[in-house]
Structures are given as structure tokens and as C-alpha cells.
Amino acid sequence: MTNPRPPAVAGMFYPGNPAELMAAVDALLAAATPGEQPVPKALIVPHAGYIYSGSTAALAYASLAPLRQQIKRVVLLGPTHQVAVNGIAAPEVTAFATPLGNIPLDLEAMTQLHDLPQIVSSDRVHAEEHSLEVHLPFLQRLLDDFKLVPLAVGEASPQAVAEVLDLLWGGSETLIVISSDLSHFLNYSAARQVDRNTCQHILQLDASIQPQQACGAYPVNGLLLAARQRGLTPQLIHLCNSGDTAGDKNRVVGYASFAFYESDHD
């Protein structure tokens, strides 16, 4: 792969023109009014096209506004849609690109992962994967100067994912973002019921979410295990589905965003 990794879904999941993309992200963030809440250590955010889940994503990302200069590293985990992988795939490139520019990877942090048995190095897994890419423009508009640790999670146990998160946990300079949609292709009322149930399990830090409940079940479960071990408090920020935003109600995809707070947050 060329270096940096070029965008794969610009012009499809989000605008490919830099000015249009900037305007779209800024409009989504401006419309999101998260209200008074503590600063999060971790987020779960959906990864569909912006017309479908961008508003739900923006409600989570808007909470980062006070952290513009504080967050220096974003650990971003999402599921694999294109290339199956056993374990967790780290890229070999040194940066990820979007129409808004390049984001350098935290190579020092990623070197710490190389000896873990669940980590594989593969640019091929990342090449066409949208689950991480769609978050990058939000982060670029919200944060001043940060490095990225992008990890594509295939089949991996909650313990395997939590071990990676523990290694990269850091302090207030590190944000963890888990990319996941919820149920897929149920009718509107069935999806609402299934997704409400899934959200309750997430709020209980129950690390047994199944892939049919959330496409990012493997990274989500890893965060839930780590959050339980570290005493984090979860909060549901927003729940909807594509039938509420830009799709019909016969076959919908569910979207939710969550924040996780440390007990000693400011």
C-alpha cells in the first residue's frame, strides 16, 4: 500500500471534497448539543454514512470540544467488513489520509503491541475498511494535534482486546474510540426492541455482546471488560436507526453512541 493509507470511502460514506467535508462535519457538530457532562475516556460511535449515523456520531464527538488541546492520541478500534482476520490487525503504514489531510500514527505506541499474539500486521485488512476511516474527519475537526492508533478487530476475545486497551490506556492525553453499529436489516420496530436490549447490556458492562447485536461486538466487548475492570461509568448518549434518519423502515441499521467516564474525571 502507498504510504499513507489513502481514503477508501471518501465520496461514498462522506463528502470527498475537502471544503464540503469540512462543512458537513462542522454542521453535524454544530447541531449536536451534548449539554453539561464530564469529559469521556472512551466512546462507542457508529460508522455508517454520515446521512445515516452522522448525527448520532456527532453527539458523542461534540463532548470532546473541551479536550481539543488535551487529547494527543486516539486509540481507534473497529470491526473488519472486507477482510476476515483472526485477532487484531495493525497497519504497517505510518499515516492515514482523509480529504482533510494526513494523520500520523503513533508508531511508538504501536511498537508496544508487536509482541502480543493477538496482533497481526496487515495493510490489506485496512485498505478498504470503512469502520475506522469514517471517524477520522470528526477527529480532525475537533482535535488540534493528535496521533492515531488504528486497529481493525476480527475474531478476538474480550480479554485479547482488553489487553491491548490496557497497554494503550495512558492518561488524559489518550482517548479510546470503539466503532460499531447495532442490529442490521431488521424492520423498524424489531430493531428498536433488539437495540434497546443491546444498549442495556452495554450499560451493564456485559461483555457478551454478539455480532448480530452489534457489528463491532468484538471491540465493544473488549472495551466493556476493560471498563468494568477500571470502574468506568457508561452513559447512553443517543439511540436511533436508519429509519429515523435517511432510510426506509423495512430494513434498518441501528446506531447508538455511548460515553465512558473515569470515576476521577474532572
| pTM, 2 dp | 0.96
Q: What is the pLDDT of residue 196?
A: 97
CA distance 241 to 226: 27
Show the cell assigned to 256.
Answer: 447508538
List 148's β-bridge partners, or say none: 74, 105
Statement: residue 264 has pLDDT above 70:
no
Calculate ∠ Cα 84-90-93, nearest 5°: 115
Residue ranges per structural domain of the chain: 38-261
Alpha carbon separation from 101 to 7, 31, 248 (Å, rounded): 10, 24, 34
The 10 Å Cβ neighbour count of residue 8 is 15
Residue 38: predicted pLDDT: 83
Cβ(25)–Cβ(116) below 8 Å: no
| Position with higher pLDDT, 2 vs 80 | 80
Q: Exposed, middle or buried by CB within 10 Å (0-12, 13-18, 19+), for 248? A: exposed
Tell whether the model's pLDDT for residue 217 goes beyond 90.
yes
- Of the candidates 82, 159, 170, 157, the residue with the CA atom closest to the CA atom of residue 122: 82
* Interatomic CA distance for residues 104 and 93, integer angstroms: 9
pLDDT digits (tens, 9 = 90+) for 140-156: 999 999 999 999 999 99
Residue 118 confidence (pLDDT) above 90: yes
SS3 of 175-207: the string is: EEEEECCCCEEECHHHHHHHHHHHHHHHHCCCC
Q: What is the pLDDT of residue 247?
A: 83
Q: Is it the case that residue 2 has pLDDT exceeding 70?
A: no
- For 222-263, what is each residue's pLDDT tens digit? 999 999 999 999 999 999 999 999 989 999 999 999 999 998
Whole-angstrom Cα distance, residue 58 to residue 14?
A: 13
**pLDDT tens readout for residues 63-99:** 999 999 999 999 999 999 999 999 999 999 999 999 9
Q: Is the pLDDT of residue 34 over 70?
A: no
CA distance 152 to 154: 7
**What pLDDT does 3 receive?**
85
Higher pLDDT, 3 or 5: 5
Backbone angles phi, psi at 72, to 5 degrees: -115, -10
Task: Return the higher-pLDDT residue of 109 and 265.
Answer: 109
Q: Give the integer Cα–Cα distance in Å for 15 and 25.
A: 10
Q: How high is the pLDDT of residue 266?
A: 43
Spatial distance between the Cα atoms of 222 and 177, rounded to a whole number of angstroms:
12
* Whole-number average pLDDT of the chain: 95
**Cβ pair 235, 34 in contact under 8 A:** no
Instruction: Judge contact between 42 and 260, C-beta under 8 A.
Output: yes
Evaluate if residue 197 carries a pLDDT over 50.
yes
Q: Does domain 38-261 fall into CATH 3.40.830.10?
A: yes
Cβ atoms of residues 254 and 188 within 8 Å: no
Q: Can you read off the three cell numbers belonging to residue 53?
A: 449515523
What whole-number percentage of the chain has pLDDT above 70?
A: 97
